[in-house]
Chains A and B, each alone.
Chain A
């Protein structure tokens, strides 16, 4: 079955950097678009970033552009989100999610999430 296991979350100081990773299994990772979606504690869902199956197109929400980078290693079935210049408002559970097709914006599976806390 489809599984996505995220790791790399933790506590980081404002202005710091962190990379969260997600290892996927149960599907042909190199054929599907992937997204990161975050959820601040006790709040709603917020889409963060998207990559097509081959990284030919990536998109970001405005508040993270220039600070976050989505990437993938298709040989290792792994998705990354490199985050820099972190702010308190970036504190959230970060979900690795799968697109329905190679360039699809439809999110059909969600991983378990990794908590990132930005605090001094």
Chain B
């Protein structure tokens, strides 16, 4: 199984400041067949179901604010929130869908400082 390791476990950021979350996979999720990274980010707000933010490592899902961006390739990925808003308080999960079983990172809790 591909193991996904997120860091940090939690972070507190001031409103309007940048938040950065990292995720490493135990093997590359970049496909040589189509040159795509089979990697996604999800947001789960308190008491809610998760929501897809980013797929193919950097493609923003429809309706996701452009302050959210994904970057990275191979086995190292980053989610950046460029200017943290109060409504961004949530747990963020990375996920690989390169192969079965699909696996998630342990989550990063983002709070307001």
A binds B: yes
Tell me the complex Cα distance, A44–B107, Å.
7
**Is B61's beta carbon under 8 Å from chain A?**
yes
Classify chain A: how many residues form its interface, as a range. 20 to 34
B93→A45 contact, CB < 8 A? yes
A47→B101 contact, CB < 8 A? yes
Which of B42, B49, B97, B105 is the one whose CB lies under 8 Å from A105?
B97
**Is B55's beta carbon under 8 Å from chain A?**
yes
Q: Give chain B residues whose Cβ lies under 8 Å from the Cβ of A35.
A: 102
B104→A45 contact, CB < 8 A? yes
Q: Give chain B residues whose Cβ lies under 8 Å from the Cβ of A45.
A: 42, 44, 50, 93, 95, 104, 107
Whole-angstrom distance from the CB of B72 to the nearest CB of chain A? 17
> Contact string, B68-110, partner A, CB cutoff 8 A, digits 1/0?
0000000000000000000000000101010011111111000
Interface size on B (CB < 8 Å)?
21
A44→B52 contact, CB < 8 A? no
Knowing A110-B50, A112-B49, say if A46 contacts B100 (CB, 8 Å): no
**Is A59's beta carbon under 8 Å from chain B?**
yes
Return the 7 tightest CB-CB contacts between A and B, nearest first.
Answer: A105-B97, A47-B102, A110-B49, A59-B100, A45-B104, A61-B101, A44-B107
Tell me the complex Cα distance, A44–B106, Å.
6
**Is A29's beta carbon under 8 Å from chain B?**
no
A107→B104 contact, CB < 8 A? no
Interface positions of A from 24 to 56, Cβ below 8 Å from B: 35, 44-47, 50
> Contact string, A78-120, partner B, CB cutoff 8 A, digits 1/0?
0000000000000000010000100001111111110000000
Knowing A44-B93, A45-B93, A106-B55, say if A111 contacts B102 (CB, 8 Å): no
Closest residue of A by beta carbon distance from B99: A105
